[in-house]
Structure 1
């Protein structure tokens, strides 16, 4: 670009007065043969000299930067030769500048008053670079723990898996989860929960090698990636090291928080998709939690099959209610003194479109782990009440018993659903009994007590199922508003041959009666158990010996035949249900 002579001074004034950008004007210094050997700073504003940390104006460039970065010299020579302009970004360290200055430069060729010049503008983009670096860090790291996030983990995992194609090696993926973290969060608050996650993350990180990757991928879940394991290593030793690295008790905000970690491991010697590697480790983690938590488990093909089965079960359950595939079967409960059916337990069955009729053992665990249990539980409640409402027409006022899942007890909608089911069906409240287990209420005893007291206020009965299975405590038993106890069936297994079992059953019966509760023996399979329970003072019994669970229509027929004055076989009144 050629600048008229009278514009040179205006350009110089503008450069010198520019308040932000570093601006310089340099002229070429040539030797006798016309070759450019240096550049002379004709003009330099204050910003340029502050960035440089030295005086520039009136000095030569190679002299100023002797022993430092002179990489711009050659491009500037080319600019003089070819004309035009040049743009680039740079990073440089100058005396007194900490950290290094990042800049964006613009250089152009100018010919004024017969002299060739290079005009340069330098804009400080240090803060912009710092902000970009922060955004990059935030995009790849978990803001709470500072560990890698899922995105960065997947990038490292995919690269590690790709390396398995090029070399013989073993890598491990470990899925770590803080046991009962939700309960800790709910009990102590999210501030304590967040601090706990930070402590767990730092503890796990400290147990790893520098080359290993650890990421928090959400909630209380951490994933560790380790390459180049010893040949034949399973990763279980590493899993145990990680579990041991987390303190059993963490002191947070003056509170002792008991901590446990479960770990699932998969080891790979051949490349697989990254999501499959994570899925295998997650499946092993699920197995560890199923085994009682605070465990480490190695992924196996059996787990894969179980995981696939669980996935298919979950998928089927998601649409089973909408498709009308659920049904209720009823199992009688009998009064030991009279032999009359006094109640029936409504038991869920799934008529699977391809597998036929499925019992709860095939799907109930999966269902109770999902949010779908709330909708299915509400359906069971409504169906059971509607069915029992018709039993008086058959001569029976039997109570219908409905099992509750832990999620239902914790649901704020349970009391409203019970009230609605009773109103819609017309069933008297005292003819509905809700069954709970000890383990379900222990996770939130105060909440469970409040909910069950609201249910009892409606007139509905509450039974404590599987009593004596391991959690029993008189302190909280007195707090639960239950109306009956159902003995754990394990006590009946050797009732006649075991003095201790008989003594325990008698103690439970006495305890129940002292508290004004009905005592029910379930799982009765033969006449000998029936006689023993009668002798021990049990009030009611239930089991295959007294009747198996049957469809609603078949149970109605049993009630009709057992009604006073009914003829079961055409020859006389039907006998009460006491066997078969």
Structure 2
């Protein structure tokens, strides 16, 4: 039976194969033979694994080598995973040959390996393809700007001063990047990254180069935009302007919306076309969004210290809403600025991008419990509205804002806006109509049961100080505590 079993083993399964110990031959010669065979198989398998490890790993660093890398790239190609391949050439490893001792060069290599690992995300893979070349499969990197950001992190960490046994080094490197969008073989992808790093070396030390010049231009443009936005924040070139939200029957200001404005070269303040899209594409929506939230809380706190309880609403993108630190960050701001319950209103925008409404509810509910009012800013906008119909009753929403797109059609085209108003009434939600610009629109909305509106018919957005002068003057006691 044992002979037949051994004869039936497939060639690929032979190494490491273990025989079952016969039940009636535990301690006799057959049992001893089976145990001896199994032990010998374990030793052969361990030796085979050690040999394979030597073949697939680079000496000293023990990083996966080029053979291993190409196998991983074949998987990337097979799965059609959008990613970036980066080759990092460390000239210092090459230039110190014959200058540093073997021990010092090993210390240099191992230190650089640890530095490279420290800037990589968990899914990314670091390999060594030559004595001074490393390759990074940057899983999760889908755009050139993300790749160049990672490349800059690599340059920064590699360029740090490095003392080795009394010798001060300042390592340098060059980086070549090839993006994979599903149209290359593994070999082509590798050769593109290699070509890019050779081009970067011709340009000097500490350079990053894409194989595709257009990708290089796109990434550089994105980084310039990111720098411009961060510089504007540092130089106080962002400000919040206020637009009143008015009770249409009386003309009384019930609340206001805080709107982002940016100072222009001529000194004027406006919201440049595409600014929000640029902020989002640069990955700065959460950073800028937090600044807006804090400025809103600071403004509310200043008013409330003077006894003014006017509610202030602020936009919150889906990206901000779903950020892991959103709840804790906002609760900390509420506590730090001692914001009175009911005076901060979050207008959730881009809700069509919220993939999990149940997760949104879990985020919004603790904020609402802390006294934050929630407004849905884009209900009815195609897919968003249809999907949200299923979740409206569970969403912790207080206010439904009617988008300007629907208001523009009034009074000629009223079918969609009438349905939205009817839904809001059935859910006992307050309504605010946005973008009201004509008396005809105001009259129709009032008759339809919409009590509050904002738009150029009532007032344009103005700086906070002018807003206070116009609507929060001492003689007005509407919002005194």
TM-score class normalised by the smaller sequence? 0.5 to 0.7
Query: Judging changes above 3 Å, is the alpha-carbon distance between structure 1 residues 433 and 465 closer, same or farther for their aligned structure 2 residues?
Result: same
User: 1:366 pairs with 278, 298, 314, which one?
Assistant: 278
Q: TM-score, normalization: structure 2?
A: 0.57
Do structure 1's residue 150 and structure 2's residue 85 form an aligned pair?
yes
Q: Which residue of 459, 462, 470 corresponds with 1:547?
A: 459
Match of 1:475 in 2: 390
Query: Secondary structure in 2 aligned to 1:145?
Result: helix
Residue in 1 aligned with 2:214? 280
* 1:281 Cα deviation from its structure 2 partner: 4.8
Is residue 247–residue 254 contact of structure 2 (8 Å, CA) maintained in 1? yes
Tell me if the contact between 1:140 and 1:149 (Cα under 8 Å) persists in the aligned partners.
Answer: no
1:425, distance to aligned residue in structure 2 (A) = 2.7
Q: Does structure 1 residue 523 correspond to structure 2 residue 435?
A: yes
Structure 1 residues 543 and 309, CA gap change in structure 2 (3 angstroms):
farther
Which residue number corresponds to residue 110 of structure 2?
none
SS state of the match for residue 531, structure 1?
Answer: helix
1:464 and 1:375 map into 2 onto residues whose CA distance is: 22
Q: Relative to 1, partners in 2 of residues 1:392 and 1:318: Cα closer, same or farther, differing over 3 Å? A: closer
Uncovered stretches (5+) of structure 2, i.e. residues with no partner? 1-50, 59-63, 78-82, 90-121, 125-135, 145-179, 185-198, 201-207
- Are 1:537 and 2:449 matched, yes or no? yes
The Cα shift of 1:533 comes to 1.0
Seen in structure 2, the aligned counterparts of structure 1 residues 551 and 220 have a Cα distance that, compared at 3 Å, is closer
For residues 76 and 417 of structure 2, what CA distance do their matches in structure 1 show?
56
CA spacing shift, 1:475–1:563, aligned 2, 3 Å: farther
> Which structure: greater strand fraction?
1
Describe the superposition over 1:21-77 as per-residue Cα deviations: whole angstroms up to 9, x where unpaired: xxxxxxxxxxxxxxxxxxxxxxxxxxxxxxxxxxxxxxxxxxxxxxxxxxxxxxxxx
TM alignment of 1:108-257, pairs within 5 A: 130-131=55-56, 135-140=65-70, 142=72, 145=75, 147=77, 150=85, 218-219=139-140, 221=142
1:460 aligns with 2:390: no
Aligned residue number for residue 296 of structure 2: 384
CA separation in 1, counterparts of 2:266 and 2:250? 43
- Summarize the Cα distance change of 1:493–1:536 in structure 2 as closer, same or farther, 3 Å threshold: same
Secondary structure at the aligned position of 2:339 is classed as coil
Q: Distance in 2 between matches of 1:380 and 1:489?
A: 23
Of Structure 1 and Structure 2, the greater helix share is in 2
| Preserved contact between residue 432 and residue 451 of structure 2 (Cα < 8 Å) | yes
- 1:492 Cα deviation after fit: 1.5
Task: Supply the distance in 2 between the matched residues of 1:458 and 1:468 (Cα, whole angstroms).
Answer: 28
Return the offset for 1:138: 2.3
In structure 2, distance between residues paired with 1:540 and 1:149: 51
| Corresponding position of 2:425 | 513
2:223–2:282 CA contact under 8 A, matched in 1? no
Contact 1:330 1:347 in 2 (8 A): yes
RMSD of aligned alpha carbons: 4.1
- The Cα of 1:313 is off from its aligned counterpart by 2.0
How far the C-alpha of 1:345 sits from its partner, in A, is 0.7
Q: Which secondary structure state, in structure 1, belongs to the residue aligned with residue 75 of structure 2?
A: coil
Shift of residue 352 of structure 1?
5.2
Q: Deviations over 1:478-525 (max 9, x none)?
A: 221110111121111221222xxx132222112112111001110111
Aligned pairs for 1:478-493 within 5 A:
478-493=393-408
SS at match of 1:348: strand
SS at 1:449 equivalent? helix
Partners in 2 of 1:128 and 1:489 — Cα distance? 64
If the length of structure 1 is used for normalisation, what is the TM-score? 0.48
Q: Residue 407 of structure 1 is aligned with which of 310, 313, 319?
A: 319
Alpha-carbon deviation of 1:130?
Answer: 4.3
Q: 2:247 matched to which residue of 1?
A: 335
How far, CA to CA, are the matches of 2:458 and 2:292 in structure 1?
A: 23
Between the aligned partners of 2:475 and 2:213, the Cα distance in structure 1 is 57
Aligned to 1:466, what secondary structure does the other structure show? coil
Give the number of the structure whose alpha-carbon radius of gyration is greater: 1
Q: How far 1:419 moved relative to its partner? A: 2.4
In structure 1, distance between residues paired with 2:259 and 2:358? 28
Q: Deviations over 1:283-306 (max 9, x none)?
A: 8xxxxxxxxxxxxxxxxxxxx6xx
Structure 1 gaps of 5+ residues are: 1-125, 155-189, 195-214, 224-238, 244-271, 284-303, 567-580
Per the TM alignment, residue 465 of structure 1 is displaced from its structure 2 partner at its CA by 0.4
**Residue 446 (structure 1) shift:** 1.9
Structure number with the bigger relative contact order (C-alpha 8 A, sep ≥ 6) is 2
1:447 Cα deviation (Å)?
A: 1.6
SS of 1:477's equivalent? Answer: coil
